């Protein structure tokens, strides 16, 4: 018997997993069978839309990982900073020209000195820096309150680029060539620094960010009510418009990044850099610039996610915790996979919602179900659903 088990260990393990999966499916199926169709459809819609937001957050983490191999624990706080910057521009009618000018100048300075501070010795580069700063300042301050969307978007863009470049320049760049683990630990330190900076700059009181507001009513967009399906579903299902917007933005970002990584020289260079930084440098790729772009892009993605999350529930330091909830989605989809981030986010979103539907009182949806699914997937596909299989020669 022992010999049989030993010989067929692998098959038996798989059989056990299959049995557990079937048992789980039967249990869930039985639970769902007692529910109205409206509840199941509603849960599916909520999971899909919430999952889209998770996917957007996961995308930022994946982009960094894809290019540098670093798992960014500061992503949640980059979301908070981005959201807060957006709020700072969105919530006032008149923007301080000095503040906006400083932000623009700092951003342009960081962009132009990405490769080397000597770049600024050239007259042409100096002119570009000054021109860029003036243009950004103008976009951030021109007009009155009716231009707040433009002010906020430009300010957030500049702030995100500045944050991403600063993080890369002062914390990640000095670690090039060092073990990856050191850089990962550095992101933990960056998270705490951003936490402190946010607290000092914006305080800890929750801020209202009414971006999903219907101008006609002054209220958040009314949800789409599926009244025509009420009879068929035996109840009402609704679709929240702000989550749809977030979901659509997430989809646009995904397809954009898939194309970016596949067809642009910068994207290809980022992929090459993630494979081996030293090798990439030896073939003429500017690793420092590529890493800087990566961090700026990730910070921008984090800012978008922060604004969307802040608009949906309010802007607070708690937003940073969303990134922690997204980690299973990142691992599920595969650490380097753009499409995996979206799929992972959606799966985790749906699993969370169904877990909550079946047992909200024990927090099955948030505390258990995503991790059980993650565990099952990792057993079958250790690199995640879309992760790259790595074969190392020993």
Partner 1 sequence: MKKLCVMLALLFVIAGALPGLAQDMLPYPSQLTECEVDLTGETLNVFHFGDLSGPYAFITQPVVSALTDGVAYWNSRGGVCGAELAQIYEDTGGSREAAQSAYDRFTSTYGDELDLLVLYSSDDGELLREQLAEDEIVSFISAGSIESLYGEDGQTPGWLYASNPLYINQFGFFCQFVAASPEIFPDPVIGFVTWPNAFGRSGTEPAAREYCAGLGVDVLAEPQFFLPTDTDILTQVQNAIDGGANIIYTNTLATGPALIAGTLVDLGLEEEIKLAGVNWVMDTTVGLLGQRVLKPNGLPAVDGMFGSMPFLWWTELSSPAVQFVYQQFTLNQRGPTEQNIAYLLTWGVLDSIIETYIRTINRVGSLDAVTGADIRETVDSMDYAILGGLMHHRFEEGMRDGTMNRMAVMKYANADMSGFATGPADALLVDGPSGKMFVPIVHALTDFMPVPQLRGQ
Contacts with partner 1 by CB under 8 A lie at 36, 39, 42-43, 46, 49-50, 53, 90-92, 195, 199, 203-206, 208-210, 213, 217-220, 222-223, 225, 236, 238, 240, 243, 309, 312-314, 316-319, 321-322, 325, 353, 356-357, 360-361, 363, 365-366
The residue among 79 and 341 lying less far from partner 1, judged by its C-beta, is 79
Quote the CA–CA distance of 46 and 244 in Å, as a whole number. Answer: 10
State the DSSP string of 112-132: HTSS-GGGGGSHHHHHHHHHH
Rounded Cα distance between 347 and 380, Å, is: 16
CB of residue 386 vs partner 1: minimum separation in angstroms? 25
Residue 127 or residue 324: which is nearer to partner 1 going by CB? 324
Distance CA(346)–CA(340), nearest Å, equals 10
Which runs of E-coded beta strand occur in 144-262?
224-225, 238-239
Distances (CA, A) of 10 to 3, 17, 51, 128: 13, 11, 34, 63
Q: Minimum CB separation from partner 1 for residue 188, in Å? A: 14
Task: Compare residues 264 and 363 and give the one whose CB is closer to partner 1.
Answer: 363
- At closest approach, how far in Å is the CB of 80 from partner 1? 11
Angle formed at CA 191 by CA 165 and CA 101, multiple of 5 degrees: 40
Q: How far is the CB of 299 from partner 1 (least distance, A)?
A: 20
Closest approach of Cβ 126 to partner 1, in Å? Answer: 38
Rg of the chain on CA atoms, in Å = 23
Min. distance of Cβ 213 from partner 1 in angstroms? Answer: 8
Contact in structure between 319 and 47 (CB atoms under 8 Å): no
Q: Which is nearer to partner 1, 225 or 262 (CB)?
A: 225
Judged by beta carbon, residue 59 or residue 70, the one nearer partner 1 is 59
The smaller minimum CB distance to partner 1, of residues 77 and 386, is found at: 77
DSSP-derived secondary structure letter, 224: E
């Amino acid at each position: 018997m022992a010999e049989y088990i030993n010989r067929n260990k692998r098959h038996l393990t798989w059989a056990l997993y299959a049995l557990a999966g079937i048992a789980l499916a039967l249990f869930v199926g039985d639970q769902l069978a007692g529910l109205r169709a409206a509840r199941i459809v509603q849960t599916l819609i909520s999971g899909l839309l919430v999952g889209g937001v998770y996917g957007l957050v996961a995308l930022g983490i994946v982009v960094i990982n894809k290019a540098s191999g670093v798992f960014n624990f500061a992503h949640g706080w980059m979301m908070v900073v981005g959201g807060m910057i957006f709020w700072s521009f969105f919530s006032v009618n008149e923007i301080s020209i000095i503040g906006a000018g400083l932000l623009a100048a700092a951003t342009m300075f960081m962009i132009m000195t990405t490769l080397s501070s000597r770049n600024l010795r050239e007259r042409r580069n100096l002119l570009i820096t000054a021109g860029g700063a003036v243009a950004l300042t103008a976009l951030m301050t021109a007009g009155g309150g009716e231009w707040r969307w433009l002010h906020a978007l430009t300010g957030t863009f500049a702030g995100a680029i500045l944050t991403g470049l600063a993080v890369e320049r002062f914390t990640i760049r000095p670690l090039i060539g060092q073990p990856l683990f050191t850089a990962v630990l550095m992101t933990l330190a960056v998270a705490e620094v951003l936490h402190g900076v946010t607290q000092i700059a914006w305080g800890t009181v929750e801020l209202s960010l009414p971006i999903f507001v219907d101008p006609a009513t002054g209220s958040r967009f009314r949800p789409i009510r599926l009244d025509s399906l009420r009879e068929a579903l035996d109840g009402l299902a609704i679709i929240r418009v702000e989550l749809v917007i977030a979901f659509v933005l997430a989809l646009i970002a995904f397809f954009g990044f898939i194309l970016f990584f596949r067809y642009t020289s910068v994207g290809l260079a980022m992929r090459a850099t993630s494979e081996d930084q030293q090798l990439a440098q030896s073939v003429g790729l500017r690793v420092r610039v590529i890493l800087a772009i990566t961090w700026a892009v990730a910070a921008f993605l984090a800012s978008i996610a922060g604004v969307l999350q802040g608009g949906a529930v309010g802007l607070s330091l708690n937003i940073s915790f969303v990134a922690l909830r997204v980690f299973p989605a990142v691992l599920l989809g595969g650490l380097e996979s753009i499409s995996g981030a979206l799929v992972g986010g959606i799966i985790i979103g749906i699993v969370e919602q169904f877990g909550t539907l079946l047992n909200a009182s024990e927090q099955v949806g948030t505390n258990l179900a995503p991790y059980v699914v993650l565990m099952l997937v990792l057993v079958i596909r250790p690199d995640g659903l879309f992760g790259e299989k790595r074969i190392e020669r020993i």
